[in-house]
Amino acid sequence: MKKSWLAFSMVILFPLAVFAQAEPDAIGLADDQFQNAFYESLLQKGIENYDRAVTALEKCQKLQPDNAVVYFEMGKNYLPQKKYKEAYVSFEKASKIDPKNMWCWVGMYDVCYETKDYNQAIIIVNKLIEFKKDYKEDLVSLYMNTQQFDKALDLINELNSKVGTTEMRENYKRQILSVAQYQTSEKDNLLEQIKKYPKEESNYIALIFLYSESNQEEKAMEIAEQLQREIPTSDWAQVSLFKFHLNNNDGKNAVAAMNKVFQSPKIDNKIKHRMLNEFLIFVKDKPEYDADLEKAISYFADDKQVQVAKEIGKFYHNKKNWNNALKYYDLQLKSHPEDMETIVLQLQAYTENQQFDVLAKKATDWVELYPSQPQLYYYAGLGYNQLKNYKKAKEFLEMGLDYLVDDLALEVNFNIQLGEAAAGLGDLKKKESYFLKAEKLLKGKKS
């Protein structure tokens, strides 16, 4: 719980001179003895000699036992010494003498806060609210600390309605609404807010989220459609409508909603990524949406966090849809030609798709750009072997071995391809030598 600034700053900053409803009235200072003792207490407090300050105040108390300012000052001297019981009793006595003075109650609140007595603090803060409505912010935190979530939620909604939202209150609200038992009352509250303020977008969004979280998809759809009617320009309505259109197998309207969201600067990129993933699953066996998918990817061209074309290529790669995987790897490499992971994935997809002529050419081209990458030599050798150009395969594979470091699996594959090249060139002795080496490497890997 973060305590309001009110309870800290005001007590320290207000001098005795402004004590008339800032601190208790310093009545009865005419008596020289009282006045001397009182100012001695202020002097000692100023240099943090709190014990001497209290001794001086005890003299004042004997002279004027019903002076609220004396008890208040005693509380202020006990508090920094962590004499919490004495501090609370002093502030309480001051409040009984001068119950209409806010600062006596602030002193008691300070003690409750320091001692983490949040239940007693709630009683005190409810009294402070009579003086300053701002203390309702403190009350929210106190309700959260004492797990009175129903009261906290009611107060959060009241404050949101009257003074607007704050990040702290919204965080508290999310915490409360993660518990199912509080969601019903919040749904009712949001429905009421929508009725009162039909043009306030945030209430619709929150209600759609709650309905979706509790698997009330039809109700969520109704609210999304209501939002679209009331605020036709709302981008958030499209986020929900997109999902409903997908669930209804309505690709045309899903695409329209998705494009509106992707064009919107209001919607967070994480939500857009999630929508793209959902659309990708929807279109994986529907080639008629290829153009829509490519358009969707174009919205993420400048996204530095997620390289969308590569991720979609991987998606199709895992599905063994090599043609689509290659298409998206090509898109990725147009904007990121240095992406070695995508280059290797592309060459592997050409291999799986048995496009050995393209594989050999692509790998050769990549070798010229990145001559120290052994994987590129391997795929060039594999491609040329499959094209029965064994001499060229042998050249690439032997060159690639010079760059190979601590990659057992790749070393095994190099030796297998070198054996294939030797066999094609009629050198059976070398063929056996390479195959035996590959076998030993594999045994070493397993052991």
> Over the stretch 141-181, which tens digit does the pLDDT of each residue have?
999 999 999 899 889 988 988 888 899 998 998 888 877 78
Could you give the CA distance from residue 227 to residue 221 in angstroms, rounded to a whole number? 10
- Per residue in 195-246, pLDDT (tens digit) is 988 998 888 888 887 887 777 878 887 888 888 888 888 888 888 788 888 8
404 and 290 belong to one structural domain = no
One-letter amino acid for residue 274 of the chain: R
Output the pLDDT for position 285: 80
Could you give the CA distance from residue 100 to residue 130 in angstroms, rounded to a whole number? 10
Count the helix, strand and coil residues of the chain and give each as a percent rounded to the nearest 5: 75, 0, 20
Output the pLDDT for position 21: 40
Residue 247 resides in a domain = yes
Could you give the CA distance from residue 398 to residue 380 in angstroms, rounded to a whole number? 11
Distances (CA, A) of 358 to 148, 273, 323: 68, 32, 13
Instruction: Report the number of distinct structural domains present in the chain.
Output: 5
119 and 245 belong to one structural domain = no
Residue 138 resides in a domain = no
88 and 173 belong to one structural domain = no
**Of 100, 131, 162, the domain-final residue:** 131
Output the pLDDT for position 275: 87
Q: Which of 302, 310, 379 is nearest to 348 (CA)?
A: 379
| Helix (H), strand (E) at residue 84 | helix 84-97
Mean pLDDT value across residues 344-351: 96
Output the pLDDT for position 186: 85
Residue 3 resides in a domain = yes
86 and 168 belong to one structural domain = no
Reported pTM: 0.53
pLDDT at residue 4 tops 60: no
Contacts of 284 (CB under 8 A, 6+ apart): 315, 316, 319, 321
Residue 280 resides in a domain = yes
- Per residue in 97-122, pLDDT (tens digit) is 999 999 999 999 999 999 999 999 99
Output the pLDDT for position 269: 79
- Per residue in 252-276, pLDDT (tens digit) is 999 999 999 889 887 877 788 888 8
- Per residue in 393-439, pLDDT (tens digit) is 999 999 999 999 888 899 999 999 999 999 999 999 999 999 999 88
Q: Which of 131, 133, 86, 126 is nearest to 109 (CA)?
A: 126
438 and 339 belong to one structural domain = no
- Per residue in 370-399, pLDDT (tens digit) is 999 999 999 999 999 999 999 999 999 999
b/e code 131-152 from CB counts within 10 Å (16+ = b): beeebbbbbbbbbbeeebbebb
Structure tokens at 80: 């920094």
Residue 43 resides in a domain = yes
Residue 140 resides in a domain = no
Contacts of 77 (CB under 8 A, 6+ apart): 41, 45, 50, 53, 54, 57
Structure tokens at 68: 């609220």
DSSP 245: H
Backbone angles phi, psi at 381, to 5 degrees: -60, -45
3 and 119 belong to one structural domain = yes
Q: Which domain holds residue 345?
A: 312-351
pLDDT at residue 15 tops 80: no
Q: Which residue has the higher pLDDT, 95 or 236?
A: 95
Residue 59 resides in a domain = yes
- Per residue in 281-293, pLDDT (tens digit) is 898 888 898 889 8
21 and 113 belong to one structural domain = yes
- For the chain, count helices (H), then strands (E): 25, 0
Q: What is the CATH number of the domain that holds 427?
A: 1.25.40.10
pLDDT band at 305 (very low <50, low <70, confident <90, very high): low
| Helix (H), strand (E) at residue 425 | none
5 and 119 belong to one structural domain = yes
Could you give the CA distance from residue 350 to residue 143 in angstroms, rounded to a whole number? 62
pLDDT band at 17 (very low <50, low <70, confident <90, very high): very low
275 and 318 belong to one structural domain = no
Could you give the CA distance from residue 249 to residue 369 in angstroms, rounded to a whole number? 45
242 and 127 belong to one structural domain = no
**Of 176, 205, 227, the domain-final residue:** 227
Check if the beta carbon of residue 106 is closer than 8 Å to that of residue 128. yes
212 and 292 belong to one structural domain = no
One-letter amino acid for residue 413 of the chain: N
55 and 161 belong to one structural domain = no
Output the pLDDT for position 304: 67
